[in-house]
Amino acid sequence: CCLDNKGDKAALYLADGTPALEGYSFGANTSISGEVVFNTGMVGYPEALTDPSYRGQILVLTYPLIGNYGVPDKNVKDELGLPLYFESKEIHISGLVVSEYSWEHSHWAAQQSLGKWLGDNNIPALYGIDTRALTKKLREMGSLLGRIEVNPSANLPQALPSSFFSNPNERNLVAEVSTKEITTYGKGNMTKVIAYDCGMKFNIIRYLVQTHNVELTVVPFDYNLEENPSNIEWEGLFISNGPGNPAMCSATVESIKYALALDPPKPIFGICLGNQLLSLAAGASTYKLKYGNRGMNQPCVDLRTGRCYITPQNHGFAVDSDSLPEFWKPLFINANDMSNEGIIHTHKPFFSVQFHPEASGGPHDTAFLFDKFVGHVRKEPQPLVLQNQSEYTKKTYKKVLVVGSGGLSIGQAGEFDYSGSQCIKALKEEGIEVILINPNIATVQTSQEKDQKSQGADRVYFLPIRPHIVMDIIYKEKPDGIIVSMGGQTALNVGVNLWKSGQLQAAGVEVLGTQIPVIEATEDREIFSEKLKEIGETIALSYSATNIEEALVNANKIGYPVLVRAAFALGGLGSGFAANDKELTDLASKAFSCSDQILIDQDLRGWKELEYEVVRDCNNNCITVCNMENFDPLGIHTGDSIVVAPSQTLTNREYFMLRTTALKVVRHLGIVGECNIQYALNPVSEKYCIIEVNARLSRSSALASKATGYPLAYVATKLSLGQDLVSIRNSVTKTTTACFEPSLDYCVLKMPRWDLKKFSRVSNKLGSSMLSVGEVMAIGRNFEEVIQKACRMVNPALVGLEGRDSNLLPCEETTPLEEQMRKATDTRLFAVQAALEDGWTIDQVHDVTKIDKWFLSKLRNIADMRTFCKSQGDITKVLAVNGKQRMKALKMAGFSDRQIGRYVNLPGREGERQIRQIRKSLSVKPCVKQIDTLAAEFPAQTNYLYMTYSGDFDDVVSSEVDLSKSSEVKRSSSSVEFERRVRALSTAADTEKATSFKEKGVMVLGCGAYCIGSSVEFDWCAVSAVRQLRRDGIKSVIVNYNPETVSTDYDESDRLYFEELSLERTLDIYEREGVGGVIVSVGGQIPNNIACHLSDNGAKILGTSARDIERAEDRRQFSDMLDTMGIDQPAWSVLRTQEEASEFANKVGYPVLVRPSFVLSGAAMRVALNEEQLKNFLELAAEVADDKPVVVTKFILGAKEIEFDAVANKGTILNYAIGEHLENAGVHSGDATVILPAQKLYVNTIRHVKRYASAIAKSLDITGPFNIQFMAKGNQVQVIECNLRASRTFPFVSKTLKNNFISLATRAMCGLPAKPYRISLLDIDYVCVKAPMFSFTRLRGADPTLGVEMSSTGEVACYGSSAHEAFLQALLATNFKLPERNRSILVSIASDEYRYEFADAANILKKLGYKLYGTPGTAKYYNDKFDLGFISASKPENEDDFGDGAELSALTEIRSDNIDLLINISEGSEVRTDEITSGYIMRRAAVDFGVSLITNVKCAVFFAEAMEKKHDKFPSRHIQEFYDIPTIGWSE
């Protein structure tokens, strides 16, 4: 059965007497003892296992890809006749211990599996051990003796007597591994070196002979050099690495002493054991390290230059630096533990190092030491490269301007809020005054509250990010530095623009971090290609073109198919693949609309795509922080790819080949700070090419920061101030340096979240232009676990990774399964899974998709487990044998309780509850693991956590509570610490209840993946709640899985669980942490939807009760409640059948609105204009709503929509804000332009709104944040809906009214005194306007109009003295271009009603001197009635209708750039068919060709009025200047 573990039972016994660690065998069926040591390197197991330095040791490998790429062929030899892929002729370890072993391997060079290789060589190996817990034990106790027993006999005691263990360090291990005869390599080469083989690795021979042309004579370790019986001619002496205690090699030490005494001296170089032997010969002493240094990321500082190198190491002994005699000095030290890493003679050519410069496996950063040694032998002068003096002339900065990224759009989302926040934090730590420009009001970085822990910017400008506005701020603020690398492409483009025009230089403002010419070199393909050629690297064939003719010539040079991209564009904007001249012409003309240079690239689809995040400081220290591999082969934008870290299918050679290139490129370009480099790697060879370098913080940087725990943006900011990597601390361990490369003992998977279903006519095909709106990150110990977790995170309706059961696959009659797999789409993963469930072979799926077979084999495992469970159909049958083991196997592979329940005919929440009980009764529970950057080698100080079933021990102490028993909570050490903090901070009454509540803490559920409708504003809410808890001395536990957020920064909360927001996982964490309650109202819809289930399971919901949340969310219950209270609402009916719905619609009259319950951003909400539409919309709503009711309401035309945001305590409103929508009701509130304070509401309307809101708050007994949407027409006020949670307008309201509503709500929910803020809406003498940010340019084919289902991806807000001033700034902040170039506007309005409404505005535009065009009907209307001189332009009938030449064609004018602005108003009471088609074609053309577009009549009128008032010119004022406007109100 696929649920039973493969391999025999096996156990690891330790000599300290702890109980045996039980696992399963995958090597030889034999028992062995040895010294247990760990290695935290990330790749290279064939190299490690054949390293003679591991002789006699049981090796624990911590990294998560053991066995993935198999074992290469030992018969493949290099030019010297040595096995190419190995470090010696045999395996030297005694045994191998790992957490996960991959039974399936996939790599072009693999000849056999790791298990078979070990078995053939009689080496035992076991998997299923909690290697993290074992590593921590070895770290704390030191190296231990151990014994592996395969099939241990039942009568073995739990702890074995010492006679069972043998200590390899008591043997002369060097004698066992050293050569027995003398061999000469590179015969006839001029330079002659003798090498002592104490266990020499083959790569050392390759370096000396192949790279440096030395004649190398290798002798046994005990060869007598003084007598030299073989008369070997030598000019230099090399001493190799080797195992064991250096004291065992007295013969070698005697020969070295002889060599040291020669005059004139002959050069000597030692590595690893060679370093210790040289020290002993010189007269120093050595000692045994506690647990040795073994791994690939040990940072070593060269004491001559201060440079830090990342080195691979493998040794258990070290040199005592204090014992070095006269004339000997330390050469290198370890930057983490300060141990000696090398010695040098002050005036003779003798030196040695403790690490492995030949690096196999590992990084090649110190290979230059071979150059140095061979140079000495050849008597070539060795110039000393000294430290750059700039280190000592470090500039200090007093004031820095940080440029943000503006509103969230596809390709540039919340990751820049995270990086900007980290940047501000780093600057404030240095005492620098920070000025921020960012009109994105929903972000954490634009927050106003400041305290010791979270210091924000000193001044925030909510203004459009345009070059002239940034210069205005610079003239006003006079900063001495500017940072443009933290705000995405928006900030970068502004920086490049201001630099090229010379304005920054003239103002004396320095660009911090990577310099503009370097950025240009990475953005301009021609320069980039030239730069790479200088260092012998290549990019994929690529040519640039500035017109279509040139593009065609270049495409034919490369050969079709080709990739077309716009230069200097964000997230692959305006790009695609062309297979012939016609497709190229179409793509190129669109791409030229957003850039004046386009790029034609070679098509490398099917190659592997890889990324490395690289950091470099001004001293040329350079590290790679994270490498990532795309699940999909090349051809899909990396933002739309599933990405795994660390890479799973690269060998040591490939991994370090690409890493070496990355460092070479980044150093050559001169980047300072952080960047990422993307590669294409041929899947059947070591051929690669560089795709691009991003010289700024990117989406991948946020992902890499969260995946590794290495805060890239924070470190990059410190580096841009001139600091170096060595002096910055690792913010997780707090003791080690930031100049290191993280080791991961877990696996991370990023999955994109798309919202393409929201847009009609949008193709879901993925390509080189990014389409996803958000992403999730799952952490676990194996690939199956993380991909299943990620599926549930992206779509909470999924129970795991399934094919057809996901209900996401298109109809197979229209799109056969093979076609669904061949084309990359947002559902391809599920099609692949369906094929594997259907019995397709891995090879068949690979041939169609080109996805690596290793990934497919993991998906196959999931399919097999599912098939087995379904075939049993009953949980008792599934668990009949090995019950606990099988349940654990399912959970380790990422299956959720609900998923297992569904397979064994226990569906729904009740089935989930039963599986949970069975699982707990079998003691199968998840354990909590830390992300600590160093795979447990050093203790971590942060509580950055995830949960997994692949482990037996928790990394942190917890206060468990069993909700099914609701037992008393055990106190943990962390809670005692909290009491201390509470006493220091608390302002609340110190009652017994409060203290225990503060100590237990509060769990805050975050927002999950960003999607349309739930974005960065909910992250702001979660962060505000957590920061308020901190101010009140309450322990906070946050749960979220979105890598782009500030809430998932481990500095924000006391404990961060990077985990699913599912009911199952939330309960796991709740029980594990024993918290006092959970806040579900600050994370948007996902937490709200599980509130009732959490409450049913015994969790305490803080704030409004779960029952009341349900009453507000369930459309039917809520509508009933309003009727009972006599509060007005549009006529409504709960739908039971199609007929009833039609009857209702006919009774109240069309249009009607169809709305499901418990959904976000109006998902599946539609306005039906007739019976046919009603029928279609009902089917869609029923799909989305699951088992929740669908309601049909009368849709009221021409009404005004009002937003009411408030905080209540026990049913009483504490504070509120009333905002009005500029557009009429019918535009989703997330897409509406909102004005605050409301400017045009009747006093009577406001009175009604307040009265209704206060009645609803009482009736639902609200405690916490809530939002009600009202509709007003005349004096009639009606309620649309009520959300018992924070809404997307909370940050907008809080920042405008200068009081954080969420902070107040948090205090109320925690039962602390919550005093209302003093806010008088009438006394606010400024206006804030929030405008939506759309990404229609990216969504090919989407209709850029507004409706009841939300389509904006972000928002911006600006302040002004009047609504018009704020509106125009907000419009500009959404990248709207004013009609200035041709001063021409095309107007097309469908109905006379709207034409009349727009008439005054048309008049204004005419007066302002704009050239007005109109489609025939519109032009005739304005010319006949108002004589406005509109020029008529014909409407297109289809996308290729450029008119007949007799009159102007609207489409031709738009495409040929003669129109600056299109005002197209299509909605109206009569819907005319041709309007939909021709209107759509014009709107789409406007978006595709970069023409500004307004589709709402109210916005069009407001725009004209604002232009008339000359609000396109405005002073640059920061938010505090608005707060400081004196107001005439009551003063105390």
Question: Active-site positions?
Answer: 272, 356, 358
Q: What are phi and psi of 1295, to 5 degrees?
A: -75, -35
Three-class SS state of 1352: coil
718: nearest Cα among 707, 708, 702, 730? 730
**Phi, psi angles (nearest 5°) of residue 1028:** -70, -40
The span from the CA of 169 to the CA of 151, in Å, is 27
Do the Cβ atoms of 1011 and 774 come closer than 8 Å?
Answer: yes
Show Cβ contacts of residue 962 under 8 Å, excluding neighbours closer than 6 positions.
1071
Q: Which of 1448, 1450, 1446 is nearest to 1438 (CA)?
A: 1450
3-state SS record for 1099-1110? CCECCCCHHHHH
Q: Is the separation of the CB atoms in 597 and 568 below 8 Å?
A: yes
Residue 1186 φ/ψ, nearest 5 degrees: 65, -120
Q: Which one, of 409, 446, 418, 453, lies nearest residue 1047 by Cα?
A: 418
- How many Å apart are CA 905 and CA 1256, to the nearest integer? 41
Q: Bridge-partner residues for 1432, per DSSP?
A: 1414
Kindly provide the b/e burial profile for residues 410-436, where b requires at least 16 CB atoms within 10 angstroms of the residue's own CB: bbbbbbbbbbbbbbbbbbbeeebbbbb
**In whole angstroms, what is the distance from residue 96 CA to residue 124 CA?**
7
Torsion sign (Cα): 1506, 1511, 1512, 1518: negative
Largest Cα separation within the chain, whole Å, is: 115
For residue 1234, the surrounding DSSP H or E stretch is strand 1234-1236
- The long-range contacts involving 1140-1148, CB below 8 angstroms and separated by at least 24 positions, are 1141/1174, 1141/1178, 1141/1192, 1142/1171, 1142/1174, 1142/1175, 1144/1192, 1145/1171, 1145/1174, 1145/1192, 1148/1194
Output DSSP code: residue 119: H
Three-state SS for 833-875 is HHHHHCCCCHHHHHHHHCCCHHHHHHHHHHHHHHHHHHHHCCH
Q: At what angle do helices 908-921 and 1063-1073 cross, to 10 degrees?
A: 40
| d(C-alpha 1309, C-alpha 1257), whole Å | 14
Place of tokens 């024993």: 1074
From residue 477, alpha-carbon distances to 105, 480, 481, 1361, 1523 in Å are: 59, 9, 11, 21, 18
Q: What ranges make up the beta strands (E) of 924-1073?
A: 927-930, 944-948, 1002-1005, 1036-1040, 1055-1058
Q: How many residues does this entry show for the chain?
A: 1532
CB 1242 within 8 A of CB 1275: yes
Tokens of 1066: 């939330």
Answer yes or no: are the C-beta atoms of 465 and 406 closer than 8 Å. yes
Secondary structure E strands in 688-773 = 688-694, 747-753
Give the integer Cα–Cα distance in Å for 511 and 447. 25
Neighbours of 757 (CB within 10 A): 16
Nearest to 26 by CA among 112, 128, 133: 128
Phi, psi of 1462, deg, nearest 5: -110, 125
